[in-house]
Structure 1
Amino acid sequence: MNQQQYPPQQSGWGGPQQSFGQAPFVSPPPKKGGAGKVIGLGCLGLVGLFVLIALIGAVVGRDSSSNGSKSADGKAGHSASKGDNAADTSGDSDKKADKKVVVFRVWGTAPAGALGPLNITYGSDSDNRDGTFKDGEFKATLPLDEDALYFDVTAQLQGSGDIHCSVTVGGKTQKGHAAGDYNICSAQLSAGLLGGWS
Structure 2
Amino acid sequence: MSNSQLPPYQPPTAGSAPAPTGRPKWARKRIAIPASFVILFVGVVIGAAGGTDQKKTGAEAKPQPTVTVTVTAAAKAEKAAPQPTVTVTGPPKTKTVETPAEQATPSGTVVFKVWGSAPSGVEVTYGSDSDNRQGSGLPMTKTLKLDSAALYYDVTAQLSGGGDINCSVTVNGRTKTGHASGGYNICTAQLNGGFGGGWS
- Which TM-score applies when normalising by structure 2? 0.51
Q: Would you say 1:79 and 2:95 are equivalent positions?
A: yes
Partners of 1:190 and 1:158 lie apart in 2 by 28
Partners of 1:127 and 1:86 lie apart in 2 by 26
Task: Compute the displacement of 1:192 (Å).
Answer: 1.1
- State whether residues 159 and 186 of structure 2, in contact with CA within 8 Å, keep that contact through their aligned partners in structure 1: yes
Q: Would you say 1:166 and 2:174 are equivalent positions?
A: no
Q: Secondary structure at the match of 1:99?
A: coil
Q: Would you say 1:126 and 2:134 are equivalent positions?
A: no
Give per-residue Cα distances to partners, 1:20-72, cap 9 Å, x unaligned: xxxxxxxxxxxxxxxxxxxxxxxxxxxxxxxxxxxxxxxxxxxxxxxxxxxxx
Task: Compute the displacement of 1:105 (Å).
Answer: 0.2
**RMSD value, Cα:** 1.3
| Structure with bigger RCO (C-alpha 8 Å, 6+ apart) | 1
Q: Which amino acid aligns with 2:192?
A: S
- Which TM-score applies when normalising by structure 1? 0.52
User: Which of residues 114, 130, 143 in structure 2 aligns to 1:106?
Assistant: 114
- Which of structure 1's runs of 4+ aligned residues deviate more than 2 A? 84-87
Give per-residue Cα distances to partners, 1:86-107, cap 9 Å, x unaligned: 33xx23x2xx321111000000
Q: Would you say 1:194 and 2:183 are equivalent positions?
A: no
Q: Which runs of 5+ in 2 are unaligned?
A: 1-93
Percent identity among equivalent residues? 54
Give per-residue Cα distances to partners, 1:2-31, cap 9 Å, x unaligned: xxxxxxxxxxxxxxxxxxxxxxxxxxxxxx
Partners of 1:188 and 1:98 lie apart in 2 by 19
Q: Secondary structure at the match of 2:163?
A: strand
Q: Secondary structure at the match of 1:122?
A: strand
Equivalent residue runs for 1:166-185 within 5 Å: 166-185=168-187
Q: Secondary structure at the match of 1:196?
A: coil
Number of equivalent positions: 107
Partners of 1:103 and 1:121 lie apart in 2 by 13
User: Which of residues 153, 156, 162 in structure 1 aligns to 2:155?
Assistant: 153
Q: Which runs of 5+ in 1 are unaligned?
A: 1-77
Q: Secondary structure at the match of 1:192?
A: coil
